[in-house]
Structure 1
Amino acid sequence: MGSSLQGTSMPITPESLDAFDDDKVALLAKRLEDDDYPTPFDGLSDWHLLRALAIHRPELTGPYVHLVDQEPFDED
């Protein structure tokens, strides 16, 4: 806890995803691994953010894919 990203409800946009680097993704993953959130919605928000990063910035999320628990799906 105590991260500058925690508790923020910033919209997930290409610009917000571009602002992430290895250190910020590591902090996000640590929060998800610790699962110590004041509300379930805070954890869900971080999970959605990591999932968006895994889709749009996979080079940053390789070590943390297990936290996203992505299942293959058919978009058709």
Structure 2
Amino acid sequence: MGPASITHEQLEAFDEVGIAELARRLEEDDYPTAFAGLGDWHLLRALAIHRPELARPYVHLVDQEPFDEE
């Protein structure tokens, strides 16, 4: 699921249980490919923007820490 396919209705349908499950998947990072979790990350990011009160406990999963590639 890319960012363009996330609808307002999907975001409004989320509740504490749904976002906790989304966060669990992201924390476990047990996706079949390196890019499979990207859809969940985009969804959590959209929730953090549009429903910050719901995403607040999981914002650490959206934040990107700086790193040195060398």
Pick the TM interval, shorter chain: 0.7 to 0.9
TM-score normalised over the length of structure 2: 0.81
- Tell me: higher relative CO, structure 1 or 2? Use CA pairs within 8 A at least 6 residues apart: 2
Distance in 2 between residues matched to 1:70 and 1:38, nearest whole Å: 22
Distance in 2 between residues matched to 1:70 and 1:54, nearest whole Å: 14
Aligned CA RMSD, in angstroms, stands at 1.7
Which residue in 2 is equivalent to 1:24? 18
Cα–Cα, structure 1 residues 63 and 16, in superposed 2: closer, same or farther, change >3 Å?
A: same
Task: Give ranges in structure 2 of 5+ residues lacking alignment.
Answer: 66-70
TM-score normalised over the length of structure 1: 0.75
Does residue 67 (structure 1) correspond to residue 58 (structure 2)? The answer is: no
Task: Give ranges in structure 1 of 5+ residues lacking alignment.
Answer: 1-8, 72-76
Which residue in 2 is equivalent to 1:12? 6
Q: Deviation of residue 39 (structure 1)?
A: 1.9
Which residue in 1 is equivalent to 2:68? none
